[in-house]
Chain A
């Protein structure tokens, strides 16, 4: 196996959990969001029906993607937008730069867009003499720190307010030691207002693009996307080709699911519907493939393209919560990122499908019903076939396969473990071969196995 260009997930996760207090804080921040989500979803009796509808609409769209892409292009053009197509990140960046140059735009405000992160648009534009400011507060914080977002919805979820205070003091000259979030956000507002007013162009992502009308929807809480594209004369919207939905009315399902799943809000503060440019202004839309058609071609993994990037699978994932977004070394981390990334590069991201307990919590919360944990399991098999599995896992997996094929050995193993786990010294259980032993202890083993319990129950 080629060594990946970045450190493996397990190694980065080890570094993350090294600071116990911080890891615990990260874990509980995300669990707090998960609980908010639960409260919201429980207030909607038809929640499961909505998920089913969303899954059906997305499956339908994916099956007829070429047709809907063309329909979207036709209608967006009719509305007055200019539509571009990009095969990959490089082509996307080139197109955006060219549009900016044609308009003589030098100062850009950008709202949150995982696609432009994926394409590394910022460094590309900066190399070409263009100033880009990420205006979502969380994204701006990570931009000032010169690091990528660690979560797709809450980019700065890994950063403590003291660190933000120090950062702002250093970069903006805010009061030393003032950690009050209201104060810090207020300073950011004042500072960024000037950027908005003086921008030459605004770049946004897209949450949903509507084939039937040629419009698209952007959802934010801060109002940064709207402010950024309502002042300058040029708006560039960048989207992956999987963002399409067939009809405007489909939004009645998706707008009910997105905010509730993402942050436990009934809806985002701003759900903006763009159809064509403002009078006298320009709107460009860039449709990007960058590996998506390859995922669509995969029998096993095409369903991962239905993702609406709500982040719920991250908030609920026991591994993500305890290892932090940066440990995944991908733009989209967490469970869904662990399906998407190996599609791009199995060699360097082949460890991610193993950063999973197969607990299935991601699949339970996913608003578009992607069978996330099944796909992660499929990836493990696929990677074993491709022989890009780390040897520690290959050995333990073939041992497991041998045991599972022989019921007597499985039963014996269980017995040994139930007795052994109670009396074995700690180092035998939590050694270097068992990465799961880090930061967690096994519960005490039951006196009887499930099979034994079942037998004695059916006798009584």
Chain B
């Protein structure tokens, strides 16, 4: 008996060929660029319900965080950014379920995109990717030199050669499923701060 795969592919192969346009170039092009990408990016982060701070370095990030009452009250903070204190070593956590009470995650973003306020993060060297979603507050730190203009520049930097999870995150989690009223903090983080630092 033919397998489902054989039958589906067989049915598709029998069909009259349709016109096949060549695959177009998508990375190179006259894509949108901004005279001031930092302002564009910051405005977008604000528009999607997050906050963006342009600071010199890690000490400024720490100072800013310490001015938050939520941060000072936080019982469980995980940081993967050198220079920012972490409360525990993620590798010693056995199950992702044990991260339910995570308050803050501070994580390095690989690059940030001005056109849509998205930041690329991956689970490289990260044992539990659930931290991005289960934490109440997400803080991302990205060097200014890694701010790019558009998604085409973004995908130019990406390759997917090994099993890996990667994510464009843009603002805190949100829903508008109740009468189109925007509610920040659906299932993922309730707040998101992005720090653009020198370098």
Interface residues of A (CB under 8 A from B): 29, 32-33, 44-46, 49, 53, 56-57, 59-60, 62-66, 69-70, 73, 79-80, 84-87, 91, 135-138, 141, 154-157, 160-161, 164, 181-182, 184-186, 189, 192-193, 196-197, 210, 213, 215, 221-224, 226-227, 230-231, 241, 246-253, 255-256, 259, 263, 265-278, 287, 289, 293-294, 296-297, 299, 302
Interface pair A87/B180, CB less than 8 Å apart? no
Interface pair B31/A85, CB less than 8 Å apart? no
Q: Which residues of A contact B63 (CB under 8 A)?
A: none
Q: A44-B32, A87-B7, A269-B188 are in contact. Are A231 and B168 (CB under 8 A)?
A: no
Cross-chain contact of A189 among B8, B130, B186 (Cβ < 8 A): B186
B31 to chain A: closest residue by CB: A46
Cross-chain contact of B163 among A223, A275, A296 (Cβ < 8 A): A275
Q: Which residues of B contact A271 (CB under 8 A)?
A: 118, 167-170
CA distance A181 to B180 in the complex (A): 9
Interface pair B12/A196, CB less than 8 Å apart? no
Interface pair B189/A223, CB less than 8 Å apart? yes
Interface pair A269/B12, CB less than 8 Å apart? no
Interface pair A274/B21, CB less than 8 Å apart? no
Cross-chain contact of A230 among B48, B96, B163 (Cβ < 8 A): B96
CA distance A282 to B29 in the complex (A): 39
Interface pair B26/A53, CB less than 8 Å apart? yes
Interchain Cβ contacts within 8 Å, total number? 251
Interface pair B134/A227, CB less than 8 Å apart? yes
What 11 additional pairs, Cβ within 8 angstroms, besides A29-B180, A222-B188, A268-B170? Answer: A57-B24, A59-B19, A138-B175, A182-B183, A222-B174, A226-B130, A249-B156, A266-B117, A271-B167, A272-B165, A297-B11
Interface pair B187/A60, CB less than 8 Å apart? no
Asked if B57 is an interface residue, CB under 8 A from chain A, the answer is: no
Closest 8 CB pairs of A and B: A223-B188, A276-B163, A222-B186, A138-B177, A266-B116, A230-B130, A63-B20, A223-B173
Q: Which residues of A contact B165 (CB under 8 A)?
A: 272-275, 278
CA distance A278 to B127 in the complex (A): 9
Binary interface profile of B, 122-166, with partner A (CB < 8 Å = 1, else 0)? 000000111011100000000000000011101110111111111
Q: Which residues of B contact A182 (CB under 8 A)?
A: 181, 183
Q: How many residues of B contact A (CB 8 A)?
A: 78
Q: Which residues of B contact A248 (CB under 8 A)?
A: 155, 158-160
B189 to chain A: closest residue by CB: A223
Interface pair A247/B23, CB less than 8 Å apart? yes
Q: A197-B97, A215-B160 are in contact. Are A86 and B4 (CB under 8 A)?
A: yes
Interface pair A265/B129, CB less than 8 Å apart? no
Interface pair B183/A181, CB less than 8 Å apart? yes
CA distance A84 to B3 in the complex (A): 10
Q: Which residues of B contact A215 (CB under 8 A)?
A: 160
B44 to chain A: closest residue by CB: A266
Q: Which residues of A contact B167 (CB under 8 A)?
A: 226, 270-273
Asked if B35 is an interface residue, CB under 8 A from chain A, the answer is: no
Interface pair B19/A63, CB less than 8 Å apart? yes
Q: A63-B19, A189-B185 are in contact. Are A155 and B174 (CB under 8 A)?
A: no
Most buried by B among A137, A186, A252, A277: A252
Q: A241-B8, A266-B44 are in contact. Are A32 and B180 (CB under 8 A)?
A: yes
Interface pair A64/B187, CB less than 8 Å apart? no
Interface pair B173/A46, CB less than 8 Å apart? no
Cβ distance A235 to chain B, nearest Cβ, rounded Å: 11
Binary interface profile of B, 22-50, with partner A (CB < 8 Å = 1, else 0)? 11101101111000000000001001100
Q: List 21 A-B contacts (CB under 8 A).
A: A44-B115, A46-B30, A56-B23, A60-B22, A137-B175, A137-B186, A185-B185, A210-B160, A222-B175, A226-B129, A230-B132, A231-B96, A252-B150, A252-B152, A266-B115, A267-B170, A270-B188, A272-B165, A278-B165, A293-B12, A293-B15
CA distance A53 to B156 in the complex (A): 17
Q: Which residues of B contact A259 (CB under 8 A)?
A: 116
A86 to chain B: closest residue by CB: B4
Q: Which residues of A contact B156 (CB under 8 A)?
A: 249
Cβ distance B61 to chain A, nearest Cβ, rounded Å: 22
Q: Which residues of B contact A53 (CB under 8 A)?
A: 24, 26
Cross-chain contact of A141 among B16, B174, B177 (Cβ < 8 A): B177
Binary interface profile of B, 84-108, with partner A (CB < 8 Å = 1, else 0)? 0000000000001100100000000
CA distance A60 to B26 in the complex (A): 14
Q: Which residues of A contact B21 (CB under 8 A)?
A: 56, 59-60, 63
Q: Which residues of A contact B17 (CB under 8 A)?
A: 63
Cβ distance B147 to chain A, nearest Cβ, rounded Å: 15
B5 to chain A: closest residue by CB: A85
Q: Which residues of B contact A297 (CB under 8 A)?
A: 11, 14-16
Interface pair B173/A270, CB less than 8 Å apart? yes
B99 to chain A: closest residue by CB: A231
Q: A273-B167, A296-B15 are in contact. Are A265 and B7 (CB under 8 A)?
A: no
Q: Which residues of A contact B180 (CB under 8 A)?
A: 29, 32-33, 154, 157
Q: Which residues of B contact A137 (CB under 8 A)?
A: 175, 177-178, 186
Interface pair B177/A154, CB less than 8 Å apart? yes
A64 to chain B: closest residue by CB: B20
Q: Which residues of A contact B177 (CB under 8 A)?
A: 136-138, 141, 154-156, 185
Cross-chain contact of A266 among B48, B134, B166 (Cβ < 8 A): B48
Interface pair B178/A184, CB less than 8 Å apart? yes
Q: Which residues of A contact B186 (CB under 8 A)?
A: 137, 185, 189, 221-224
CA distance A46 to B149 in the complex (A): 14
Q: Which residues of A contact B29 (CB under 8 A)?
A: 46, 49
A79 to chain B: closest residue by CB: B163
CA distance A270 to B160 in the complex (A): 18
A30 to chain B: closest residue by CB: B180
Interface pair B118/A265, CB less than 8 Å apart? no
Most buried by A among B30, B47, B151, B172: B151
Cβ distance A145 to chain B, nearest Cβ, rounded Å: 13
